[in-house]
Amino acid sequence: MADFVFADDYNLGQNSTRRFYEQFLKGYIHKHNNLMGVIQGFSSLILYDDTINEEVRESAEQMQSSAKVATELNREIMGASGCGRVEVGVVKLSDVLPYWKGKCEEICAASEVNFTLTVRENLPPLAADSGKLGELLFHLVRNAAESAKDFSQGSVAIDLFPPGEASPGTNVDLFIRNTSADLGPEALQRAFVPFETSKGSEHFGIGLTAAAVLAGDMGMRLGLRCADGTMTAWLAIRSAG
């Protein structure tokens, strides 16, 4: 697995400095969301007026749309900055896999790419925060689907392996593979950098940052590899057994 580029630099320490920035960002985002709420409210009032001309209507619609996007960005920043509470417990895969499968199918269908999930036998319970692990997975699948959709017959595949089958040790190994352009190690490292994206301005560029931070907060390791037209994300998840 030496050819994987790991997001180890995004493991945030638990110290007073981190707590300060958590409080700072949470407060800032709360204030910013209040402002966005006012903008959305006033733009809605303008749009209720059937007598306004098209130029004013178009401006109000852009203002309302931008405010909604800003609110969505704030939510993403909370995860990417480590501000979300993570409570690691015991997660049984039988409890979460049906939801994971349905959500991943939905993400891939939106990008019109094929999706497959393969689950090996003898998978132990996981040591994770159930909600945050799902959030992490969906960030990775969304990134994979958005990359694969640029290719004819693009696909996303997930494989779950029990400890010792794909790598030594006691971790459960989750691999996400997708059709991709070939990228070198430097490009893979930049993929974790916040607000870096090659997918256009409509993307925030913090999905993989959030995934890396969530992985670190749950004591997991996240890596990327790209070879022969396939991108692979590897998430080593601690087992609870």
Residue pair 220/106 in contact (Cβ under 8 Å)? The answer is: no
**For position 239, what pLDDT does the model report?**
95
**For position 13, what pLDDT does the model report?**
86
Q: Is the pLDDT of residue 23 over 70?
A: yes
**For position 202, what pLDDT does the model report?**
62
Domain extent listing, the chain: 16-80, 87-237
Band (199; pLDDT cuts 50, 70, 90):
low
Mean pLDDT of the residues in the chain: 91
Q: How far is CA 165 from CA 90, 125, 239, in A?
A: 21, 16, 14
Rounded CA gap, 155 and 4, in Å? 21
Residue range 19-37: average pLDDT? 91
* Three-state SS at 239: strand
The rounded percent of the chain whose pLDDT value lies above 70 is 96
Higher-confidence residue: 219 or 205? 219
**For position 201, what pLDDT does the model report?**
59
**For position 79, what pLDDT does the model report?**
84
CA atoms within 13 A on the CB side of 182: 3
**Domain topology for 87-237:** Heat Shock Protein 90 (3.30.565)
Q: Which residues contact 71 (CB under 8 A, 6 or more apart)?
A: 33, 36, 37, 40
Residue range 43-53: average pLDDT? 90
Look up the pTM and report it: 0.86
Residue range 171-200: average pLDDT? 86
Q: Which residues contact 62 (CB under 8 A, 6 or more apart)?
A: none
Q: Is the pLDDT of residue 1 over 60?
A: no
Over the stretch 50-109, which tens digit does the pLDDT of each residue have?
889 999 999 999 999 999 989 988 888 888 888 888 899 999 999 999 999 999 999 999
Band (200; pLDDT cuts 50, 70, 90):
low
**For position 206, what pLDDT does the model report?**
87
